[in-house]
Amino acid sequence: MLAVYLGISAIIGLVVIYDGYLVVKSNGVVGIGHLAMFTSAIEFLWAVVSVVALFTLEFQSWQILIPAIYLTHNLLGWVYGIWLASKSPIEQTEKIVVPLWYSKFGFNFGIVFTFCCVLVQYQMYS
């Protein structure tokens, strides 16, 4: 079951990369369309799965960092998003704009997270 979790985590990392790429490409403007809602829902659901994984799967040594860093990234993203929304004018509902540095951070997190998932999978089978 651990291998399945790690494999799907790598796929989720690719979703994070794609989502980050779209936001960076649009200079920090977060889309509110169906695709953005779908990727956000997938990322949120994987956070729930990661919480369950933390308490049910038997991770070896640093494998536990996979759900831990994903949850940390997701939680900090929610906190920062809520803070940004509280600072935005109420009339601005048709688009959400995040700083470009944060957009790039999200994109790069996806790359690092995917790489770590693949590395842990490789370590399991070698």
- Alpha-carbon distance 29 to 99, whole Å? 9
pLDDT tens for 113-124 read 999 999 999 988
Q: Quick one: pLDDT at residue 90?
A: 62
In terms of residue numbers, what domain contains 74?
Answer: 2-125
Q: Quick one: pLDDT at residue 33?
A: 76
pLDDT tens for 20-69 read 999 999 998 887 778 878 888 999 999 999 999 999 999 988 899 999 99
Tell me the CB-side half-sphere exposure of residue 2, using CA atoms within 13 A: 17
Does residue 91 have a pLDDT over 70? no
How many other C-beta atoms can be found within 10 angstroms of the C-beta atom of residue 25?
A: 11
Burial class (CB in 10 A: 0-12, 13-18, 19+), 6: buried
Domain count, the chain: 1
The more confidently predicted of residues 71 and 90 is: 71
How many other C-beta atoms can be found within 10 angstroms of the C-beta atom of residue 74?
A: 19
